[in-house]
Structure 1
Amino acid sequence: MESESAMMLQLASEAFQAQNFDLAAEIYECQAAGARDARSRQELMVRRADALSFAGKFTEAFSVYQQAAEVERLRPAHLDRLIDCLAEGIRRQVRHSDHTSRSRGETVVEESSARMADVSCPLCLSFLFEPVTLLCGHSFCKRCLEREHPLQCVKCQDSAGVMEGGYRMNVVLSGVLSKLYPGRELVVKLRREGNTLYVERRVEEALEKYNQAICIAPDHLLFSNRSLILSALKHLDQALSDATTAVSLKPQWAKVLQLCKALHFVIKVFLCLSSSTEGVSPIAVGTLDPTDVECSLCMRLFFEPVTTPCGHTFCLQCLERCLDHNPKCPLCKEELSEFLERRQFCRTVLLEKLISKHLPSELTERQRVHQEEMDELSNLNKSVPIFVCTMAFPTVPCPLHIFEPCYRLMIRRCMETGTNRFGMCIGDQFKGFADFGCLLEIRDVNFFSDGRSVVDTIGRRRFRVLQHQERDGYNTADIEYLEDVKVEGAAELELQRLHDSVYELGLLWVNSLRPEQKQRIEGHFGSMPPKDPNGPSWCWWLLAVLPLEGRAQLPFLALTSLKDRLSGLRKVLLFMSQSRNAHR
């Protein structure tokens, strides 16, 4: 008989774990009816009440709890599951309420706490303490992340992207919050100290910590937790008063308050009301000095601050430039290869807001200086970045493999300014690079985890170098653009005939190539363009694919006479045709 009872209790436990609470409640009811002693019957009645609670049948559950209390006085441990159930219900209700309010554009926090919304953790909605900034740029309490382990950011739904080593505190942001809101930080510390003391059963000392915290900045979280402490000290009237105050500060907990009034012995349920927004009285806010928010790399006010997984913050451009040389944190040398591979460096939202709010004039000046730098970098006539590599031609694709740090910086700057353009010249042993080149436009960039990239570019305009220069390790130049001289009348008709004849010669040469040669050329540069007298693009395409050295190609790029360029190309094609015939 005892074996059968044990099997039934095991079945009830499995049903509870599987969330089949009705079945569990039914089994416990049958077992309680046949219990031999009062202690066993009470235990089974409590388990049945627990199952009914999780099934949402609170009225029936409370009746069973009352019956169990009549058998023998209930101990606090008997109510653990009820408290868990109520707490989970509250959390679901709050999250649903907040989500609904946000979707309707309503204000989620009370007016008194609206000023603190920007410095609140999105998970606990309390003051941001020991902040951790995720890769998406949003910040949370370190303890909240460690407790919740969210799979995505609750602010932007981006993957939380926890790097190896766990959550690291944002050092700069923590210092800024500590300086701006010292009272708020002290309250959190007192609350945590009180919680530790309570766990250690030093209840009177825990109460003193909460009394101190409430004197500084009373809020419903402090009142709800203090109600638990007062309950443990048997001060039930004061406990209920604190519970009432806590719920009055957050009206959506009115139903919980009714339950607390009906059930004095579950007063500690308010300990679970920590997923709430603080409703606080105003406390003094400290001042922020520009040196508190200064990048350790450029020694200037943060501009577009980015926080690494190791918790250090830098200007976006400063960090990227360091990572060009070494994929490690500039401060602690922790490996940042995974962070680098993501490539979407999100700015630390809260730090930007705090700088904007407390240092508006300094930020305006920093933005002005940055804009001047961008204007200088985006000038496509003066100090144009020059990639010294190979020949490039207008309208012709030119894929590039970027691995040198100076060129990583150059490509990134071209993209940041929005020009997406830079010059391409071949090298010169005396000047560094040739006096003629082609402006390339970036169409796409594919980054690798080690910082290398493959850049898809296409030629746009020819230019002549007026002055050779250098910036931050790469070459620059003042340039002027080249255009073909226009012809009219008889000269135009003559040019048209030359254009057609050279095009046919070029087509014959392309068709004479071996299939594998032709396939390789077309895979890299595309097919030969059709006739186009206004350019023509097919001419540049032929110059790019013909087996000529850069020095032989360069004069064609410098010519401003289409006639001269076609005549020179005709000579090359005739020579190659003769050479091919001679080898047959």
Structure 2
Amino acid sequence: MSLKQYVADTPEERSAFFIGADGDNNVSEAEDGHRELILQKGNALASEDCLKEAIDWFSAAMRYGPVRPEQLSTFVDCILRNFKRKAAGSDASTGRSRDSESGGVDALLDCPSCLCFLDEPVTLACGHSYCRRCLRRRLVLKCKLCGEAVAGKEKVNVTLCGLLEKWFPGELKEWKKLREVDSLCKRKRYREAVSLASEVLHSDPHMTVARLSRCEAYTALGQYRLALEDTEFCCRSSCQAEALFRKATVLQKLGQVDESLQVFLHCLTVNEDFPGAKRHVEKILCDLLSPADENVKVGLRETTQSTLPHLRTKTLVENASVEPQSPVQRRHRHRVCAASAHHTDSQEKRCESPERPGLSRAQSLRMHGSSSMEEGLKRVSSAPQLGDQDKGSLLKRKLSVSDVEAYLVDSGSSKYKKQGWTKGSKHQTAKAKPCRQVPEDLLDPNDLECSLCMRLFYEPVSTPCGHTFCKNCLERCLDHTPQCPLCKESLKEYLAFRKYTVTAVLDTLIKQHLRHEHEERFKTHLEENQELSDLMKNVPVFVCTMAYPTVPCPLHVFEPRYRLMIRRCMDTGTQQFGMCISEPEKGFADYGCMLIIRSVHFLPDGRSVVDTVGGKRFRVLTRGMKDGYNTADIEHLEDNRVVDREVLEKLQDLHDAVYEQAQVWFQNLKIRFHNQILQHFGPMPEREADIQATPNGPAWCWWLLAVLPIDPRHQLSVLSMTSLKDRLVKIQHILTYLQNIPSN
């Protein structure tokens, strides 16, 4: 049967078909293939947001064998999309706005992840800064402001740390204590961690991060009620995603799988990349959909061991009523039950009840009566014991619109409050913190100075080692060596990417609080750029080779001075520089050609391959030097136009004759030279209808001059000519000379 026919049926019909068709001997051999096909159908339905149908197919797949939690990833995405839609509708109906829950605190010095104080700020490659705690705990996998992936290798920003220590010493003192709390938890000294976190909260009850750290310690100590109190306080705070994750983890440890699943999903609606949350949802769903087999339920039983008494009624649900099955399905069920009967009996004999020695767990549980069974049926933690169809129906109900919306409308409250867990008024909600302001009396422009140019930062860029420089200053240093100018740490990888993104926090601080100083610095920067943008005065000159109008000239740039020169040409927007050949007495020749940059390909070690093409010719008026490279004041050269018609006709005849002679010479070259010219310079340009259409004359003349094997001094003399007639005559003489040379 084809896959197309297979996926057209219901999962129950497919199960019956395979069992009946293969027979007893072939069922086990085909189960793996059948499971994969069913999973494909389930994934296809989940991708199309057919949640209820997908539940049926994933449940059917597990009847053929265990399914790994990660195989439910598409299914989880489908559930999450449905959950998010319901969450959005719930927020709209209740008038809630998550964006307003931050309390109006000055976001400039807050971590974009936890929205708390920017303690130990770390600047990422994208230019945004996060607190070190969020990065250490992998709470930020990609930047929440721009979406760029986080490398995780960056160090603390030295400049920002210095500013925060100067401006907010009291707040930093409390955060240092909080770092010690996390250190104690890491060393498994949980009681000391609880004590220190409580001390921090006594001085600042609004520090939700301290409650989350204390929650972590409470959870490790098994004090789940206290842990839940801390998470309830934080669930509407700036750390909502982390608070929800911790709350869901505690509920899972308590065996409250239904509530845990809902809270994990809520966590993912707040932060879809929250580490570990999706894996927990996959594991829970895998347990909920798995068939009633002891081996599959070991993990779930361990999580509910020694918890609330009503959770011990789970095994009673195995015998709950299920929908009628087809004869083939009943035959298959009979085979499975018969094969496992002995195993089940022996398990019950070994698993004696802790309440009544000598009784099996099943016998002990029956003494709780029908009320306990009803309580167990209400919980998703009992769902793994249901029949496959019942479990699917229960899971659909638990993920239904009404249940999810009811949960989201009052996500800050819980059933524990209904049971008398109401906390004091100061613990009921996380109130907004007082607005943090930069102390104007402590503002000093010297604290925001570049250590290279000794001026106020302009476009401050922070390196992975944590130091900050002006963008231009850093690039100039990296032209010479791929190391940090201050700590000498290798920046080869940083240089390879060449992504010098402005540090947003520092740039905003300067623009908002040092406006006058920034305006002066910006004015100086503009003046420097305007000076570099003039294509007649102080034009940068690359002393290297001959260049010609319209002819490509690829360059390999490796010297630091020319790296700087090329970068300035790009930054100013001119994308042009002069090219001259060397002349010992003057430094470079009196005539040259402007090169237009078409593209720059940077190599990992800082070198670059620059693709240029010739532009206007020029004559050097004066020579100069700037930052190691040559400059010149120039004037552009243009061909003298011929106005007389008779003279123009003679010039046209000369042009056509020389063009034909050039074609003959090129075609008669040896195939090796012919191919090399085509590879480097391309084919010879076509004859132009108007020989005076451009200031530089016909393009084929310059192409031919570039490929002719003659001394650069002769080429330079032709480049400097402003008469098309003189140029054609010179080229004609050169071609005649080359054609008269006997070939070897």
Fold match (TM-score > 0.5): yes
Relative to 1, partners in 2 of residues 1:224 and 1:354: Cα closer, same or farther, differing over 3 Å? same
Distance 2:670 2:476 in 1: 45
- Mark the CA change 1:519 to 1:185 in structure 2 (over 3 Å): closer, same or farther: same
Distance in 2, matches of 1:379 and 1:257, equals: 68
Q: In the alignment, residue 213 of structure 1 is paired with which amino acid?
A: D
Offset at 1:121?
Answer: 1.8
Please say if 1:120 is aligned against 2:110. Answer: yes
Deviation at 1:343, TM superposition (A): 1.4
CA offset at residue 260 of structure 1?
3.9
- How far apart, in 1, do the equivalents of 2:224 and 2:544 lie? 82
Distance in 2 (alpha carbons) for counterparts of 1:337 and 1:372: 32
1:155 maps to which of 145, 158, 170: 145
Distance in 2 between residues matched to 1:358 and 1:432, nearest whole Å: 48
Counterpart code for 1:574: T
What secondary structure does 1:354 align onto?
A: helix
Equivalent of residue 566 in structure 1, options 719, 724, 728: 728
8 A contact 1:213–1:222 mirrored in 2: no
TM-superposed deviation, 1:578: 1.2
The whole-number CA distance in structure 1 between the counterparts of 2:127 and 2:430 is 21
CA distance in 2, matches of 1:334, 1:476: 34
Mapping for residues 210-229 of structure 1, pairs under 5 Å: 210-214=201-205, 218=206, 220-221=208-209
Unaligned runs of at least 5 residues, structure 2 = 1-54, 56-79, 241-407
Of residues 434, 445, 448, the one that matches 1:281 is 434
Aligned to 2:565: 410
1:575 paired with 2:743, answer: no
> 1:449 aligned to 2:436?
no
> How far, CA to CA, are the matches of 1:557 and 1:236 in structure 2?
86
Offset at 1:122?
Answer: 2.4
Check 1:490–1:263 CA distance in 2 against 1; reply closer, same or farther (3 A cut).
farther
> Aligned equivalents of 1:428 and 1:134: distance in 2?
48
Aligned partners of 1:263 and 1:226: how far apart in 2? Answer: 23
> What residue in structure 1 maps to residue 266 of structure 2?
none
How high is the TM-score relative to the length of structure 2?
0.58
Q: What's the secondary structure of 1:332's corresponding residue?
A: coil
After TM superposition, give the deviation of residue 518 of structure 1 in Å. Answer: 1.3
Query: Per-residue CA shift, 1:533-564, capped at 9, x if unaligned?
Result: 13200000000010012111001111111111
- Which SS does the other structure have where 1:148 is aligned? coil
1:447 offset after TM fit, Å? 1.0
Give the corresponding residue for 1:399. 554
Shift of 1:466: 0.3
Give me the whole-angstrom Cα distance separating, in 1, the residues matched to 2:224 and 2:734: 102
1:466 and 2:466 aligned:
no
- Identity among equivalent pairs (%): 47
Q: Contact 1:394/1:462 (CA < 8 Å) preserved in 2?
A: yes
Pair 1:516 & 2:672 matched: yes
Matching residue of 1:549: 711
CA, structure 1 residues 264+577, in 2 after alignment: closer, same or farther (shift >3 Å)?
Answer: farther
Q: Residues 576 and 232 (structure 1 numbering): CA distance in 2 closer, same or farther, change over 3 Å? A: closer
Normalised by the size of structure 1, how large is the TM-score? 0.73
Match of 1:499 among 646, 652, 655: 655
CA distance in 1, matches of 2:591, 2:417: 87
Cα distance in 2, alignment partners of residues 494 and 456 from structure 1? 38
In structure 2, the CA distance between the partners of 1:197 and 1:266, relative to structure 1 (3 Å rule), is: farther
Instruction: Give the secondary structure class of the aligned counterpart of 1:110.
Output: helix
Higher relative contact order (CA 8 A, sep 6+): 2
Q: Distance in 1 between matches of 2:591 and 2:581?
A: 9
Please report how far the alpha carbon of residue 125 of structure 1 lies from its aligned counterpart in structure 2 after TM superposition: 2.3
Q: Secondary structure at the match of 1:114?
A: coil
The answer to whether the 8 Å contact 1:210/1:226 transfers is: no
Q: Deviations over 1:136-179 (max 9, x none)?
A: 212111221121175433322223234xxx33111112222333
- How much does 1:207 deviate? 2.3
Change (3 A) 1:369 1:429: same
Within 2, Cα distance between the matches of 1:325 and 1:139?
A: 28
Task: Tell me the equivalent position of 1:366.
Answer: 521
Structure 1 window deviating more from structure 2 (142-151 vs 219-228): it is 219-228
Q: Aligned-pair distance for 1:338?
A: 0.9
1:337/1:450 contact within 8 Å kept = yes
Give 5+ residue unaligned stretches, structure 1.
1-54, 56-91
Deviation at 1:131, TM superposition (A): 1.2
> Within 2, Cα distance between the matches of 1:293 and 1:149?
30
Say yes or no: does 1:304 pair with 2:459: yes
Query: Any conservation in 1 of the 2:105–2:434 contact (CA below 8 Å)?
Result: no
In structure 2, do the counterparts of structure 1 residues 560 and 266 end up closer, same or farther at CA, with 3 Å as the change threshold?
Answer: farther
Amino acid corresponding to residue 159 of structure 2 in structure 1 = V
Contact 1:400 1:457 in 2 (8 A): yes
Partner residue of 1:21?
A: none
Distance 1:278 1:536 in 2: 77
| Structure 1 CA distance for aligned equivalents of residues 120 and 720 of structure 2 | 62
- Deviation of 1:208 after TM superposition, in Å, equals 2.6
Residue 176 of structure 2 aligns to a residue whose secondary structure is helix
Q: Aligned in 2, Cα 1:159/1:206: closer, same or farther, shift over 3 Å?
A: closer
Query: Which region of structure 1 is more displaced relative to structure 2, 106-115 or 382-391?
Result: 106-115
**Residues 1:134 and 2:124 are matched in the alignment:** yes
Deviations 1:381-425 (A, max 9, x none): 000000000000000000001011100110010001010000000
- Measured in 2, the distance between the counterparts of 1:228 and 1:449 equals 44
Aligned to 2:632, what secondary structure does the other structure show?
A: strand
What is residue 321 of structure 1 aligned with on the other side?
Answer: 476
Q: Which residue is 1:476 aligned to? A: 631
Distance 1:412 1:504, change over 3 A: same
Aligned to 1:207: 198
**Per-residue deviation at 1:226?**
7.2
**In structure 1, what is the equivalent of residue 505 of structure 2?**
350
Q: Which amino acid aligns with 1:368?
A: K
Aligned to 1:25: none
Larger Rg: 2
- Residues 260/317 of structure 1: CA separation in 2 closer, same or farther (3 Å cut): farther
- Distance in structure 2 (CA, Å) of the matches to 1:229 and 1:161: 29
- In the TM superposition, residue 123 of structure 1 has moved relative to its aligned partner by 2.3
Give the drift of 1:360: 1.3
Tell me by how many angstroms 1:257 deviates: 2.6
Letter in 2 for 1:282: C
- Matched to 1:179, the amino acid is K
Deviations 1:249-277 (A, max 9, x none): 6797942432441467899xxx9x9xx99
1:214-259 CA distance string (max 9 Å, x none)? 3xxx3555567778999999x9999999877655667979424324
Note the C-alpha offset of 1:282. Answer: 2.7
Aligned position for 2:163 = 176
Q: Secondary structure at the match of 2:482?
A: coil
Partner deviation per Cα, 1:265-309 (whole Å, 9 max, x = no partner): 899xxx9x9xx9983113453232111111111111111111111
SS in structure 1 of the partner of residue 493 of structure 2: helix
With over 3 angstroms needed to count, the CA separation of the structure-2 counterparts of 1:245 and 1:146, relative to structure 1, is closer
Q: CA RMSD in A?
A: 3.7
Alignment of 1:428-439 (within 5 A): 428-439=583-594
> Given residue 549 of structure 1, which amino acid in structure 2 is its aligned partner?
D
User: Is the deviation greater in 476-485 or in 513-522?
Assistant: 513-522
Secondary structure at 1:406's aligned position in 2? Answer: helix
CA gap of 1:400–1:154, structure 2 versus 1, over 3 A, is same
Tell whether the 8 Å contact from 1:132 to 1:167 is kept in structure 2 after alignment. yes
> Which letter maps to 2:116?
S
Bigger shift: residues 554-563 or 341-350: 341-350
Tell me: CA distance 1:186–1:565, structure 2 relative to 1, closer, same or farther (3 Å). Answer: same
Q: Measure the CA separation in 2 of the matches of 1:495 and 1:339.
A: 58
